[in-house]
Structure formats: structure tokens, C-alpha cells
Amino acid sequence: MKDLLEYIVKNLVSIPDAVSIDENIANGEVNLMLTVDPSDMGLIIGKGGQTIHAIRKILTVRAIAENVRINLQLSEPETPAETQADTLEVEPKAVENKDTSKVNKKEEKLS
């Protein structure tokens, strides 16, 4: 199971070296935990979850052939501590007052 999942996922993502799959087999049940790079998470999930759903269906077909149960979990990647520490604080810019006297004079003439 792990080899099939690894083949599918590594061919979908842009950073295949970041793909990690943990496999636990117990009592005829295969639990797979998939971890990918945060930038590839959207590719694996797909629009409305279509991609991950299709991957699960393929794994289910193989599981039926092998007479086992399959469970695939997509784990959220951890955000690096550097990203959280390097957040920039932006001060609001002061807005300069524009001279609107010409506009006001035109409005007075129209009245």
C-alpha cells in the first residue's frame, strides 16, 4: 500500500523529497499517514477534496484485492518557527490631506 501511495503522491507534488508516509499494519487494517510540504498541500487535497478522494478510492480498490481495510490520513505540516518569528509589523502610513478647495469652489458655483 505504501509504495502505491508514494508513487501517486510523488508524481503529483512539486517537492517529492518532502513526501513522508508512515504505515501501521494491525489486525488486517492498514493505517497510512501522509505528510507533504506545506506548498503542496493544496495539490494533494485538490478542489473540493477531489484529489485526495480519488487517491483514497485507488487505495481502497487495492485494499479490497488484498482483503484488508485501509485508512489514509493527511497530516497538516508543521509551520517552521522561523516563519512565525519573522513576521513583519507594518505601520500605517499617514495620509496627506489634499487640497480640495478647487472642488469645493466648483460645487459652490453649481449651487
Give me the amino acid identity at 67. Answer: N
Give the pLDDT of the chain (111 residues) as one tens digit per residue.
889 999 999 999 999 999 999 999 998 899 999 999 999 899 999 999 999 999 999 999 999 999 999 999 998 766 665 444 445 555 555 555 566 566 566 556 665
Question: Element (H or E) spanning 71, and its range?
Answer: strand 69-74
Q: What is the pLDDT of residue 75?
A: 87
Tell me the CA distances in angstroms from 104 to 3, 14, 95, 99, one per residue in order: 74, 58, 20, 10
Q: Are 60 and 32 in contact (CB under 8 A)?
A: no
The domains found in the chain, sorted by start residue, are: 2-77 (3.30.300.20)
Cα atoms in the Cβ-side hemisphere of radius 13 Å centred on 103: 3
pLDDT at 80: 60
pLDDT at 56: 94
pLDDT at 64 (0 to 100): 92
* CA-atom Rg of the chain in angstroms: 27
Backbone angles phi, psi at 46, to 5 degrees: 80, 170
